[in-house]
Structure 1
Amino acid sequence: MHFRKESVEEIIKYDDYPYKVYTRVSTDRDEQISSKENQIDVCRYWIEQHNYEWDDRSVLLDDGISGTVLEDRAAMKYIFSLAEKKEIKMVIFKSITRLARDLKDALYIREVLVSNGVRVVTLEEDYDSLYESKASMKFEMSALFAEQLPKSMSVNISGVLAAKARRGEHSGRVPYGYMKEGKYLVINENEADVIRLIFHLYNNEGLGQKRVTYALQEKCKAGEIPPPRKRSNWQLTTVQTILRNPIYCGVHIANRHTTIKVDGRKKFIRNPPEKWTVYEDFCPPIVSREDWEKANNKPTVNKKTKFTPWNELRQLLICGKCGSNMVIIQTSRAKQNGEKTYWKYVKCSNYRRAGQEGCVNHVPITYEEVRDIVIENLIEFSKDISHDYKKNALEQKEKQMKSVKVELKSLETQNKRLLELYLEDQIISKAEFQTKRNEIQSNIIKLEQSLFSLQQVHDEKSSMMEMQAVLRELEDKEKDLKHVFDKLIDHIVIHPNGKMIFHYRFK
């Protein structure tokens, strides 16, 4: 970036017309990285041409964030907050594609900013909300074209991948058991022997998927077979994936999954079989088609109804040994009259996948026992939270704000001293100045965003009423309490001996 040789006072002075320059890059490709500098230079030229004073601190960056996912863009959310507090008057974008690649998001961003009196400028489209009327369709049409660009690119990429697949060319991660020669998959015999062993144990030896996993672990430990890639040992999910993957009988299935946007976020979903594209004889098979179909049509795969119990504490229970999530394992025993009695035990997910190679087996503790203990602790906890909640929350907020302000003051001092070293003392080079200045500026922006979050003023009375309402729900133990647990508990550590350590969301 080019820096004019101005006085320290001129450079650090804020202009009377506060603005922000928003930049966004979505990938780490070289052209995207250079695009950041290009966006800044274009915006800076426009600012100086319109007689505003350039300030490096005005630049906000969402780095490595897709323009189709608004929820993940911290810098844009920070701009929203400044607009609502009336602390900015203008936001400049190089183009609408940097603002958003979704028509709905683009219209929403403009609406939030303009409704708060913020001027919106996109340079490539020559759009300026200060001069455009509400009836103007310039912004809407440009945003529509910006939305269609990634969709068109996706269609083109899908077409290229389909053409490669028809030619037998492989794209993406190479499956275990294969290696790549040029554009094509060939069998890696060392790994392929493991694939054949898995199908043999599962089809011919009558072992279940978990027992196959344990057999592989023993052979891997003895050095008889290699471990899976990027892992030290075999896990249940790895075995399941191999057994279900048709690539091992030479068949490639494309378009099995797609992404959709739900509530501002991308979600990965499975397409119905009618949308799949099947490529027969795509690569050399490691197992026969008959062996693959046998493995995927065993009664235990297709006829056994698998039931996952509802877990009100999911993602809140953490293994004290390895840090993995604790999950529910259900077992049953049939009575003489044919009825079944079910037990739900809490187990480490790492132990479930890999046995003793993954973690340790915790002492038996049922899900119902854990749930009762959680409710009892929350009831005991609630006796103090109502009295101390407001005091602790405000004290903690004040302490954090003070710490952030001290850091900001320190960085401002560093910034000023850096300018003196470059402009007056001339001790450091221009390149050193730019690098260090960018680093300091990045830290200042992060701290400003953190300070804003801490300065949000909430209605403490409403918070207390909400908290008390949540706590009252614990009185009815029979109802679904997941939302109560999520509200009050950050996580619970369960150690192998059954000891439970509670970490609450409030002190």
Structure 2
Amino acid sequence: MSIKYAVYVRVSTDREEQISSVGNQIDICRNWLERNGYDWDENQVFKDEGISGTLFLERPSIQLILKKAKGKEINMVVFKSISRLARDLKDSLEIREVFISHNVRIISVEEGYDSHKVGKNDMAFELWSLFSAQYSRTLSSGVSAALAAKVRRGEHIGKTPYGYVKEDGFLKIKEEEAKVVRRIFDWYNQGWGYKRIMKELNLKRIKPKEINKWQITSVQRLIRNPLYCGDFIFNQYTVIKVNGRRKQIKNPREKWMYYKDHHVPIVSKEVWKRANNVKVKRTTFTPWNEFRGIMKCKICGSNMIINRSVRKRKDGFKTNWDYLKCSKFRRSGEYGCVNHAPILYEDFRTIVVETLLTKGESVSIYFQDNLQKKRTSELNQLVASKEQWLSRKDKLLDLYLDQLINKDEFEERRREIEKDILMIEDKVFHLKKNKGLKTDIDSIREAFKQLNDHEQDLYKAFNSLIDEIRIHPDKAIEVDYTFADPKNA
């Protein structure tokens, strides 16, 4: 048959048994297609490997199939089971709605589901999707229970912390690193701050476990972690799904499971408690940053943050000074980036507001042209990039046909290239939708109106009007606007 179909395959982890199921899923779908008179086409197989079925937006292959369905490029999609399509009920139903509304036939081989036979108003798909979602939750609970049992037995779960090695699931002290841990606690209890400890560690060329240099946050987390006095906290965090993506949140303390004397400690309880004494614990306050996410360091590209300096006068009155600082320099000092000349936040904010108000007096019809030009430019870059990858794919095939590379190397490199092509096509798909153009124009106009009230929070206004601000170490500022400047048009 000449019908255009897509075969969808998904595995949620990179474990060996999961990877082997890719071939199993393909064989099941191929068997169904050939038994029903369809010619097998290897190029119509789309894979999402190592991606959870509960994360809809992070699966490029299913996004590409949906794009093909909307573009009338396919009229049937085949997959092993509904659990492979999605493990979230809402996502599963949304995917089906897109396929049905574009006359794409849905085949789930394992459940024997065929949308052409059951019609649009069937309940079978909803029930299977519900079972799949419930299975995911049950599986998660089962995994949590199994992990809790391991912790009760004294085993360690999660990443192996600095100062330890893991043997047969249990933590053992790695003496060379443990000496560093003890030294950190000693320094802190002597009155050293996180920054001074970080600098000393980097100066002595002591390597942390996963990153190249010690940072303030890594020193702070080490000191605050009760693991170093032999205790372990289980169920401290929960991973939730927000807008199709994973997000880790901290559970309330009543849900924590605290295991005392869980493993061999590196420092004593007394040393740890002295470092974490609530009465002497250092407290920090992070000022509100209306430019978060768009204000960058020109040197390293990290976010610029607000650093607060508090000065106490003789009469007891405190004065706060909020100034801008590179977040990488804040974490790692000169090992991370350079120290910027101090710019007071209020002065910086005033300059930006005044500049925008001046531009707002003359900006009008340039909105739409500029937004459209930006989208067109991005599309052209993506198309050119895709052509380059397609060319590489053709050259790779030539290398294989000329026997310059073996089959395994060919398949591995081909998969990598196809993955990059899929990501590009996914970006092109979202850009071509172009649905936010009028909304963007309206939001820009509204943002200019908000600037007249300097006292209100201008976070949304700044994000509507500014793409990015880059700050040089010498206080120079570069600004990319979301609109065209008539003076430069």
Tell me if both proteins adopt one fold, taking TM over 0.5 as the criterion. yes
- The alignment's C-alpha RMSD in Å is 3.5
- Is 2:286 aligned against 1:308? yes
TM-score normalised to the size of structure 2?
0.85
Contact kept? 1:70, 1:264, Cα under 8 Å? yes
Question: Partner residue of 1:12?
Answer: none
- Greater alpha carbon shift after TM alignment, 359-368 vs 54-63: 54-63
Paired residue for 2:87? 101
1:144-293 to 2 correspondences below 5 Å:
144-203=130-189, 205-218=190-203, 220-221=204-205, 226-293=206-273
Seen in structure 2, the aligned counterparts of structure 1 residues 148 and 230 have a Cα distance that, compared at 3 Å, is same
- CA distance in 2 between partners of 1:33 and 1:499 (Å): 51
Of 456, 460, 477, the residue aligned with 1:479 is 456
- 295, 312, 319: which one aligns with 1:317: 295
Alignment of 1:113-132 (within 5 A): 113-132=99-118
Cα contact 1:418–1:433 (8 A) shared by 2: no
Q: Give 1:133 shift.
A: 4.5
Question: Considering only CA atoms, is the larger Rg found in Structure 1 or Structure 2?
Answer: 1
> What are the ranges of 5 or more consecutive residues in structure 1 without an aligned counterpart?
1-14
1:447: how far off?
Answer: 5.4
Contact 1:177/1:191, CA 8 A, preserved across alignment: yes
- Shift in CA distance, 493/399, structure 1 to aligned 2, threshold 3 Å: closer
Identity of aligned residues (%): 44
Tell me whether 166-175 or 208-217 shows the greater mean CA deviation: 208-217
Residue of structure 2 in register with 1:490 after alignment:
467
Q: Is the 8 A contact 1:343 1:366 kept in 2?
A: yes
Do structure 1's residue 501 and structure 2's residue 478 form an aligned pair?
yes
Greater Cα shift, 192-201 or 135-144: 135-144
* 1:139 counterpart residue number: 125
> Residues 440 and 266 from structure 1, CA distance in 2 versus in 1: closer, same or farther, beyond 3 angstroms?
closer
What is the CA distance between 1:495 and its match in structure 2? 1.6
Paired with 1:92 and 1:273, the residues of 2 have a C-alpha distance of 45
**Which shows bigger deviation, 277-286 or 429-438?**
429-438
Counterparts in 2 of 1:39-54, with a 5 A limit?
39-54=25-40
Query: For structure 1, which segment, 339-348 or 114-123, has the greater mean C-alpha deviation from structure 2 after superposition?
Result: 114-123
Conserved 8 A contact 1:60-1:445: no
Structure 2: distance between partners of 1:191 and 1:334: 40
Deviation, 1:172, is: 2.9
The SS at the match of 1:311 is: coil
Tell me the alpha carbon deviations over residues 112-159 of structure 1, each in whole angstroms, 9 at most, x when there is no partner: 322333222111111111111456432223222222333333333333
Displacement, 1:410?
8.7
| Change beyond 3 A, Cα 1:23–1:373 | farther
Bigger mean CA offset, 460-469 vs 429-438: 429-438
Matched, 1:350 2:336: no
- Deviation digits for residues 400-432 of structure 1 (CA, Å, limit 9, x no counterpart): 65676678789889999999999xxx8779958
Q: Residues 298 and 470 of structure 2 are in contact (CA less than 8 Å); yes or no, is this contact kept in structure 1?
A: yes
- Distance (whole Å) between structure 2 residues aligned to residue 289 and residue 200 of structure 1: 13
Gaps of 5+ in 2: 485-489
CA contact (8 A) 1:327 1:346 kept: yes
Q: Does structure 2 conserve the Cα–Cα contact (< 8 Å) formed by 1:386 and 1:464?
A: no
The alignment of Structure 1 onto Structure 2 pairs a total of residues equal to 482
Could you tell me which residue of structure 1 aligns to residue 487 of structure 2? none
Residue deviations 1:317-369 (CA, integer Å, cap 9, x gap): 22223332211111122345533221101111222223333332211111112
Residue 98 of structure 2, aligned match among 112, 119, 122: 112
